[in-house]
Amino acid sequence: MPEGLSYRNYRMRPTGKAVFELILRLGLSLTGLAIALFLSGCSRTGQPSEGKSSLQLVRRHANVLLITVDTLRADHLSCYNPRSVPTPHIDGLASRGVRFVQAVAQVPLTTPSHASILTGTYPQVHKVRDIGGFVLDKFVPTLATLAHEAGLETAAFVGAAVLSHHYGLNRGFDTYNDDIGAQRAELPGVVAEIRGDAVTGRALEWLERHQGSNNPSSKNFFLWVHYYDPHFPYDPPLPFKAKYARDLYSGEVAFTDAEVGRLLQWLESHGLSENTLIVLMADHGESLGDHGEFTHGVFLYDATMHIPLIMRGPEIPPGQAVDQQVRSIDVMPTLADFLHMSAGDKVQGRSLLPLLKGQEVATHYSYMETLYPKTSMGWSELRGIRTEQWKMIVAPQPELYQLQEDRLEQQNVKVRYPADADHLEKKIWEVAGPPGSLGKLEQQMVDDKTLRQLQSLGYASAGARRDLRIDMSGPDPKDRVAMLGILEKSAELMTHDRFQAAIPMLKGIQAEDPANPAIYQKLGVCFERLAQYQKAIDVYQTAIKHHAENDQTYASMGNDLIRARKPLEAADALEKAAGMNPTNLQNLTNLASAYLQLGRFVDCEKTLNTILKRDDHYGQAYNILGIRAIRRGDGIAARKYLEKAIECDADLTEPYLSLAFLAEKTGHPQLAISYYKKYLERTPPKEHRDIVTKIKAAIAKLEGRS
């Protein structure tokens, strides 16, 4: 998570009016039935890239395994820093291959960085500029599309929703497993990722099916395995949690190393290691307090931009360390070169294979950027360029560092070396485009499922405003370091359900930075989690007053107005949310619920039909149709709709309550008990203590025990 801004984002859904009878009978409040529903991703099959095939006639018959580790600092691997946490499996890979000493990322954010890795291009080309709201340009080839065209089996297993198929990274993969639902309960405080052991398990299952001894006709493969574990919040499993109790980040690194070892051991035991090029790298690093940042995403210093990169396989010289700077964008053309394939005409990186043979490779300039300060906090975005000697950062207050003499980037020497600064700045604009042409940031809309998953990981920019200008306007992030620290600290408190403690911290910086969307987002969630809905509404209204709003601002405010029994105002807010982002089906669902409560049945059904035309398996729409049927006395239709809702979305819990109510009403107490129990099985008792208590009492009454 780039920002240390992770917390549990339990977004609650309004219930329909028909369930109000049940609420009254059980003595419950409306808000008691607004349940946190986290939705999982699912496997998708990618499609080959459009246009001409860039495949050459004769390709190498070999395999490629790409392992990316999220948020991994190079100096936390013992092959890079002997004083760091022991990482024997990754060290073993390095000892039998090549370790690149100065590998650097293009963006300190997961999605755009992986887009650069897979396409060999800068964000200006692949179009994934930030977290959420950006989709990979369909005309830019990826390593997967090239491998797919070449006849390789292609598969990816990713560990977080931030790499969901929604962003187009699945193109070219025969199997793209981004399913996070099954492991959700095992990760306290985080709902949009799975642990590395599950990722490894899925990858090994695929390898057994496609490359195991029972499949003699198996083809060569390109396999991408992504581990998210070192990402904040740090929560390694035992025994790593106990061993590294004072340094949980290192515990996550040690755990990930063990999982990498499991994967490599399978290849070794099945005789595939010698014919497989294995690449292990990070997408970006982690600040861990350097320069006042504790996670990543805001700054472009080496704490987050310097990454490990290791290669081992056929024709890779063992035990070699390469000092020349290399870049994330060089990985895709290197792997294409290894497979004897053309990387295409859009690639901006260079193959590193000639470098390993002593030949010159032009990787000396590395462009980097982060738009996250602008999209999430209203501060200026940053752009930079790095060489072996220099790093230039274009900001409201530009920075220049001599890296060989100042590895920690503490001394800004721009005034001392104006000619070098000017030269490097020109290199930045060669990639970014002329400063006067930057204009507005073009985003695509994000659906609610993806939005909530990203926000649960702390990516505040997932719901960014749609009219942002990336023209270096706004405060310099360096001048907001103290505020960044407060935002990160409040996020940590929220991750541990300490919402009351986070509120005064956030209120303390609100007046100082009134146009910062992240402050309002977090304050609103704090009040919602404390069931103080009017205060949350006030927060969102203040955000609108200071032009720090987006569609999610209106959506959250609309939901809170429903909880506050103000359906007319709720409908107005939700109509604005739906108008700003018509692809967000949750906004439309909430709007339909508000119409139902207002008795605007035609508008309700029209909105639900709109939803189902876009997604005829959208469970929440069927849930509201079921409630509508109950209201008009059509029990048969109601049951059909409610059962369809559960069939479409196994994570929904509200249909069980409606079905229980319907069963009671029609004189089927045992069936009602069954539905109540199914609801309880799927509902976290800690977050819904009151309703759980009431439903247990209702069950006892139906069973004749009270």
Q: What are the contacts of 504-511 at 24+ separation with CB within 8 A?
A: 509/483, 510/542
According to the per-residue pLDDT averaged within each range, which of 173-182, 295-304, 439-448 is highest?
A: 295-304
**For residues 336 and 143, is the Cβ–Cβ distance under 8 A?**
yes
| 652/668 Cα distance (integer angstroms) | 22
**50, pLDDT greater than 80:** no
| 587/574 Cα distance (integer angstroms) | 6
Query: What's the mean pLDDT in 43-62?
Result: 49
Ramachandran sector of residue 92 (left: φ over 0; alpha: ψ -120 to 50; beta: rest):
alpha
Structure tokens at 662: 């319907």
Classify domain 63-363 by CATH architecture.
3-Layer(aba) Sandwich (3.40)
What is the length of the chain? 706
At residue 613, the pLDDT reads 85
Structure tokens at 171: 């193109």
- The label of the residue with tokens 């350097």 reads 290
Name the 3-class secondary structure at 225.
Answer: strand
Q: pLDDT exceeding 70 applies to what percent of the chain?
A: 83
**179, pLDDT greater than 70:** yes
CA–CA distances in Å: residue 187 to residues 162, 183, 329, 522: 16, 7, 32, 21
pLDDT tier at 44, thresholds 50, 70, 90:
very low
At residue 58, the pLDDT reads 64
Pairing of the two strands 326-327 and 103-104: parallel
For the ranges 168-172, 232-236, 584-588, 637-641, which has the lowest average pLDDT?
Answer: 584-588
| 3/303 Cα distance (integer angstroms) | 13
**46, pLDDT greater than 70:** no
Q: Domain locations in the chain?
A: 63-363, 377-437
At residue 469, the pLDDT reads 75
The reply to whether CATH 3.30.1120.10 applies to domain 377-437 is yes
| 255/257 Cα distance (integer angstroms) | 5
Structure tokens at 506: 């956030």
- The label of the residue with tokens 């290894």 reads 338
Helices vs. strands in the chain: H and E counts, helices first = 27, 15
pLDDT tier at 649, thresholds 50, 70, 90:
confident
What is the pTM for the complete model shown?
Answer: 0.79
Burial (CB < 10 A; 0-12, 13-18, 19+), residue 92, is: middle
**457, pLDDT greater than 50:** no
pLDDT tier at 615, thresholds 50, 70, 90:
confident
At residue 587, the pLDDT reads 81
Which parts of 581-648 fold into alpha helices (H)?
Answer: 585-598, 601-614, 619-631, 635-648
Query: What's the mean pLDDT in 112-134?
Result: 91
**454, pLDDT greater than 50:** no
Dihedrals phi, psi of 560, to nearest 5 degrees: -70, -35
**653, pLDDT greater than 60:** yes
At residue 117, the pLDDT reads 98
Identify the H or E element spanning 153: strand 153-157
- The label of the residue with tokens 């990316």 reads 68
Query: What's the mean pLDDT in 160-184?
Result: 82
At residue 193, the pLDDT reads 79
pLDDT tier at 27, thresholds 50, 70, 90:
very low
